[in-house]
Amino acid sequence: MTPKQHYEQFQNSLAQGWNTWDTRSVLSHVHLPSGLAFRLGIKEYRDGGHLCEALIGRLGDDAETVVPGARAWDGGYTSLKITWRGVELEVETATDGDEWLCLVTSISRERQIKTPLLIAEGGFLWNYAGSIVRADSALEAIAKGQNWRLGASIAPVEEPQTSALGPYLALPLDAPIALFTGKERSLEDVRAIVTQKRAEVTHDGSDEAELRSAIQTCMAWDTIYDPSKQRVISPVSRIWSSRQGGWVLFCWDTFFAASLSATGSRELAYANAIEILREKAPDGFVPNVSNAHGFKSLDRSQPPVGSITIWELFRCFGDRWLLELAFEDLLTWNRWWLENRVVDGLLAWGSDTYEPHTGHIWEYPKQGVGERFGASLESGLDNSPMYDEVPFDASTHCLMLQDAGLSALYVADCEALAAIARELGRSEAEELGARAETFREQLARLWDEEKGIFANRCTDSGEFSPRHSPTNFYPLLAGAATPAQARRMMDEHFLNPEKFGGEWIMPSIARDDPAYGDQHYWRGRIWAPMNYLVYLGLRRAGLRDESKILADKSAALLLKEWRSHGHIHENYHADTGQGCGYDHSDRFYHWGALLGLIALSEKEEV
């Protein structure tokens, strides 16, 4: 098979069977390839509402609270608890071959004037062809020539006051309820299968097992099906995707999703890595963002972590065809940085001007294009204090700031891509190796001897920027630091509680920076991708004591709110370690799970 055929086989194997494929509700269970969906909801009798969609981490006075439980990568078992308007349910699902089973248990129903109902609604997503009707006490459907029947362990009641748009069963929540497709089953039959499937994903209680479970749970719940491109992908979260038309893929976020998926699903890991590469802009770079509305950020890319991701996937699984499939796109992207973002021998973040395509008439796509803000967005660190007041050079389309973090990531990209080229016997290996060495040598110019750290340099004044973030440690990942320099970085910055040390690490700007107290997005809060890239640098530099410190503290940070709320946050407060209590931290954003991947990687390295 060709590399493309190998990959299509992987995608086809992913897009099969029952899973939570629908972006807009974790209570919607969908069968592929038919598109048949059974959507669960709650009809309450306190205010008379019908909750027909549910998401993890939604905010608002009347928002549902979803606590995700353990689940299988393929949807063979899922579990969650949901609370809404005084009704609390536990919902578990399992598959038995191609059949779907569900067990719903009512935990509480406060202030209800009558017994609330489970609404099990049937229909077809994405305008897929099929028919479904209510037939006595069941739903009967025909899809792609196959007959389906959804039955229940109790008799439905009549309740016309719902928001359901298709046939549904209204089932009183005064006793456990079993739902099932296919043959008739009792509550005990369904419970037995659910119990067996639950046991297959139950961990032994160790921290390592809990970290693996957290990664698996988050990645699996954030994985959806995109019918427009007929693919399985893992956007950053369902809330982000719902706001952007059904899915949204960010560049470095999705490569990190591939690394996280590799802990349990080779197919999903490959899908995320390849699909973000396929979103490339006409100029050949992987865009900052692409979404279901059809928008792509044609002015900017994001941190180049693609080659190191693909190379690590190859080292993990050994599929040479993956390298063949990805190489040309990675090479084009690598050369784009060289041609568009080099300022006096080092790299700077930028934003190119372009004419928005037809339909790009809303404000967001134009915001910051060809300006300082667009360049800061390319860094992935949207409002980082590092870029406050930095001039933007319209002639180069770049910030007037040689960036230590970007330059170091580019060296790592060149090195990983050179390794891929050598594995494939490509002549570009020499070009890429030489490029890595050239930029590694140039990074020496960014060593600030006075401060003892690699610093960004202002190209208008020639002076070092006084603002430091975890990105200033990335030169360790490029092999650019001497042993003496690495030691100073550790003693004077990494371990220093007035800089980056402390109970919760690493803050996104140094603790003694004037902006640290903001604790607003990239202005001081802790972000898992920064920890992850710094960890890779510590490991490369052989700083084993420090890598263990970072691994242990990253694990503690993740488990803090995972254990208390079932949350994996977009970012965390650097003083308290909390993710909650702050609106700009999605509560189920998959790259937060990199905190767990750091700890698992450290255990494997010991």
Q: How far apart are CA 301 and CA 118, in angstroms?
A: 45
User: Which CA distances in Å does 153 have to 29, 132, 168, 190, 195?
Assistant: 18, 20, 15, 9, 17
Q: Which helix (H) or strand (E) holds 271?
A: helix 266-277
Taking residues 67-74, what's their average pLDDT?
96
Residue 363 has pLDDT above 60, yes or no: no
What phi and psi values does residue 134 have, to the nearest 5 degrees? -85, 125
Question: CATH number of the domain at 3-201, out of 1.10.10.10, 3.40.1260.10, 2.70.98.110, 3.40.50.10860?
Answer: 2.70.98.110
Strands (E), 248-308: 248-250, 289-291
Cis status of the peptide bond prior to 506, with omega within 30 of 0: yes
Give the pLDDT score at 319. Answer: 98
**Using H for helix, E for strand and C for coil, what is the string for 383-435?**
CCHHHCCCCEECCCCEECEECHHHHHHHHHHHHHHHHHHHHHCCCHHHHHHHH
- State yes or no: pLDDT of 605 exceeds 80: no
* pLDDT class of 360 with cuts at 50, 70, 90: very low
- Residue 385, token pair as written in the block: 């204090």
Q: Return the C-alpha torsion angle 384, 385, 391, 392, nearest 10.
A: 0
Neighbour-count burial of 386, counting CB atoms closer than 10 A to its CB (0-12 exposed, 13-18 middle, 19+ buried): buried
- For CATH 2.70.98.110, the residue range(s) in the chain are 3-201
Predicted confidence (pLDDT) per residue in 527-580, tens digit: 999 999 999 999 999 999 999 999 999 999 999 999 999 999 999 999 999 999
Enumerate residues 6+ apart whose C-beta is below 8 A from 40. 27, 28, 29, 91, 102, 104, 118, 119, 120, 121
Q: What are the beta bridge partners of residue 109?
A: 87
pLDDT digits (tens, 9 = 90+) for 335-347: 999 999 999 999 9
> What average pLDDT does the structure give for the chain?
95
The SS3 call for residue 306 is helix
Cα torsion angle, 338, 341, 343, 345, sign: negative
pLDDT digits 0-9 by tens, 83-93:
999 999 999 99
pTM: predicted TM-score of the whole model, two decimal places: 0.96
CA distances from 272 to 31, 52, 195, 266 (A): 21, 29, 31, 10
Q: Which CATH architecture has domain 207-605?
A: Alpha/alpha barrel (1.50)
Phi, psi of 411 (to 5 degrees): -60, -45
Q: Is residue 356 predicted with pLDDT exceeding 90?
A: no
In one letter, which amino acid is 530? M
Tokens of 99: 């059949």
Write out the residue limits of the CATH 1.50.10.10 domain(s) in the chain: 207-605
531-570 burial, b at 16+ Cβ within 10 Å, e below that, comes to bbbbbbbbbbbebeebbbbbbebbbbbbbbbbeebbbbbb
Check if the beta carbon of residue 12 is closer than 8 Å to that of residue 67: no
